[in-house]
Amino acid sequence: MNQVLIPTGFAPPVPPRGLPLRQLQGATMGTTWSVRCATTIDPARLRAGIVAQLERVTAEMSGWRADSDLYRFNRLPAGASLRLPEGFRRVLACALETAAATDGAFDPTLGALVDLWGFGAQPAETEGPPPETRIAAARACAGWRRIGFDAATGEAWQPGGLALDLSGIAKGFAVDLVAEWLLAAGVRDCLVEIGGELRGHGVKPDGSPWWVGIESPPGPRDASPPFVVALHGLAMASSGEYRRCFHHAGRLYGHTLDPLSGQPIDNGIAAITVLHPSCMQADALATAFAVMGPAKALDHARHRGIAALLVLRDGSGGRSEHVSPALAAMLD
């Protein structure tokens, strides 16, 4: 039996009976995407529109493309500025707002550190952890308060040596962008997924919700049943160190870095899932909560009304699950 999560205030909409269920998929951002939707729109037109939205995100914010706006910004000389395109502007504004709200637990300026640890576009220079001197130098280049940004005009100023890395938020934005395009095209019943981040609207043609299981990290779990959520006007993003990591000298080093230490986090959190109307915000919050640690993350979620699930490791190799009040209120 599952633990069922239903959005508060959920009123089942009129199902799109008689409409065919379209299913499309592809590759983007080093991962895969999929869309399921009830519509009569030609699949070729749907695919073209979806791919155009994904291409827009990678052209603006990819750290792997030498022609992206992010790549250009990271290589500006100190004092120079770049007027960001609309999508990049939205993402950077949300990233900096999340950084301020979480006291820097989410920091979009860790590009040099991410590359140094081998989790970015550049491969790691050494096997295992990098030298402390290199970590300190990369940390000195970072700091979300260093960047100048005018959200109204989209102008961003390079303070010198700062490297943006938006991998903790851009994928969620891409999910939102595709969902918004579908809704604008008249598709009111859809489920969008990119690399495990999701957003759903409406219901399936048979009237049932878009049921999605919350991924559980590998290894033993406690006795509680798994969670499934009805994604109706709701997005879901998860963060787990088991997804991107390496092992060295008997220790696991995950891809989520603590901005204060410049090191991968090691605070007992195995995985985090956040539910939010915006996948972009859910994506950023999942990363922030991983950095904050269990107590601060749950306290932040409680005071902000954020639905979150934290999976914690214990000293004996087991794990336990902890939910915020907002998520507990969704239990059916």
pLDDT digit string (tens) for the chain, length 332 residues: 789 999 987 777 778 888 999 999 999 998 999 999 999 999 999 999 999 999 999 999 999 999 999 999 999 999 999 999 999 999 999 999 999 999 999 999 999 999 998 888 776 666 778 889 999 999 999 999 999 999 999 999 999 999 999 999 999 999 999 999 999 999 999 999 999 999 999 999 998 999 999 987 766 555 568 899 999 999 999 987 656 656 655 676 678 899 999 999 888 898 999 999 999 999 999 999 999 999 999 999 999 999 999 999 876 667 889 999 999 999 97
Predicted TM-score (pTM) of this structure: 0.94
Q: Which domains does the chain have, with CATH numbers?
A: 65-157 (1.10.3980.10)
Q: 289 with 272: CB under 8 angstroms?
A: yes
**What pLDDT does residue 19 have?**
92
**What pLDDT does residue 216 have?**
77
Sheet containing 21-28: give its strands across: 21-28, 31-38, 190-194, 197-201, 234-240, 269-276, 307-313, 319-323
**What pLDDT does residue 219 have?**
62
Alpha carbon distance 27, 315 (integer Å)? 38
How far apart are the two ends of the chain, measured CA to CA in Å? 12
Both structure tokens of 11 = 């009123």
**What pLDDT does residue 229 have?**
96
Both structure tokens of 276 = 């939010």
**What pLDDT does residue 231 have?**
95
**What pLDDT does residue 74 have?**
97
**What pLDDT does residue 118 have?**
85
